Amino acid sequence: MRIGVLGTGMVGPAIATKLVSLGHDVRMGSREAGNEKAVAWAAEAGEGASEGNFADAASHGELVVNCTAGVASLEALGAAGEDNLAGKVLIDIANPLDFSHGMPPTLAFCNDDSLGERIQAAFPAARVVKALNTMNCQVMVEPTRVPGDHAVFISGEDDGAKHEVAELLASFGWPSERIVDLGGSGARGTEMYLPLWLNLYGQLQTGDFNISVLAAKS
């Protein structure tokens, strides 16, 4: 599949490298084509890897992944272009963390709102699925780094899009029973988990941990 990965931080290269290793044709997007990190990634990832600006990457992709800074994601997706996102599954991994008041970051908005929902509202023709935002990027693409039956959440209004994302997650190594659908506004809860994730990261001194959901059989 042709996939556009928006973002040159830690998540973009981790996701893009995994996708190339699975045989996908991946273009990494940045604010400006020729971004130093994107060029280095494309050279290292080799065949099936290319780079460009956000619009280049989004138009390239049959599926698009948002790995941009959460407080800038609407701006980045605006640069990617509404038409380049229309009708496509858009996986949103970003968290709306506001670092402007120092550490630890706060959530720019929450409770009755989420970035996933704001993206869906701003780009109604895109098929937005919030996923993978509750774990470190290395765990996203290599779930066996964490032992046990830990979970990945998917949220959004489009059941067909969530099904496609679940298939992609399965190809990353996520067993289907550990892919948990949280429904339409599930992005709220997953984004509001971030303060706890940051707290745990500080205490555990490793990013190799995740949520396990244990329920009594009904």
Ligand X SMILES: NC(=O)c1ccc[n+]([C@@H]2O[C@H](COP(=O)([O-])OP(=O)(O)OC[C@H]3O[C@@H](n4cnc5c(N)ncnc54)[C@H](OP(=O)(O)O)[C@@H]3O)[C@@H](O)[C@H]2O)c1
Centroid of chain to Cα 196: 19
For β-strands 97-98 and 89-92, DSSP reports them as unpaired
Taking CB under 6 A as the rule, does residue 210 contact ligand X? Answer: no
Residue nearest to ligand X (CB): 9
Binder among 84, 114, 120, 136 for ligand X (CB under 6 A): 136
Taking CB under 6 A as the rule, does residue 77 contact ligand X? Answer: no
Of the candidate spans 3-11, 18-26, 81-89, 162-170, the one that interacts with ligand X by CB under 6 A turns out to be: 3-11
Binder among 69, 108, 122, 211 for ligand X (CB under 6 A): 69
Q: The tokens 């500080």 sit on which residue? A: 202
Residue 205: both structure tokens together: 């001194």
Helix pair 36-45, 11-21: axis angle to 10 deg? 20
Binder among 4, 12, 143, 156 for ligand X (CB under 6 A): 12
Question: Site residues for ligand X, window 24-63 (CB under 6 A)?
Answer: 30-31, 35
Whole-number minimum distance, CB 140 to ligand X, in Å? Answer: 7
Whole-number minimum distance, CB 160 to ligand X, in Å? Answer: 24
Residue 34: both structure tokens together: 């020729």
Taking CB under 6 A as the rule, does residue 114 contact ligand X? Answer: no
Total Cβ atoms within 10 A of residue 31: 14
- 48 Ramachandran zone, left/alpha/beta (phi>0; psi -120 to 50): left
103's CB contacts (< 8 A; 6+ apart) are none
Binding site for ligand X (CB under 6 A): 7-12, 30-31, 35, 67-70, 72, 75-76, 93-95, 97, 133, 136-137
